[in-house]
Amino acid sequence: MSIFVFVLSNILKGIYFPSFLSALLFTIALSFLNAIIKPILILLSLPITLLSLGLFIFIINTGMVYLASYLVGNITIQNFFAGFIFSALISAFYMVLEWTLNSK
Structure confidence by residue, pLDDT tens digits, 3-12: 999 999 999 9
3-8 contacts, C-beta under 8 A, 24 or more apart: 4/90, 4/93, 5/90, 8/86, 8/89, 8/90
pLDDT of amino acid 2: 87
Q: Residues 66-76: what's their mean pLDDT? A: 93
pLDDT, position 102: 87
The pLDDT confidence band at residue 44, using thresholds 50, 70 and 90, is very high
**Is the whole model's pTM more than 0.85, yes or no?**
yes
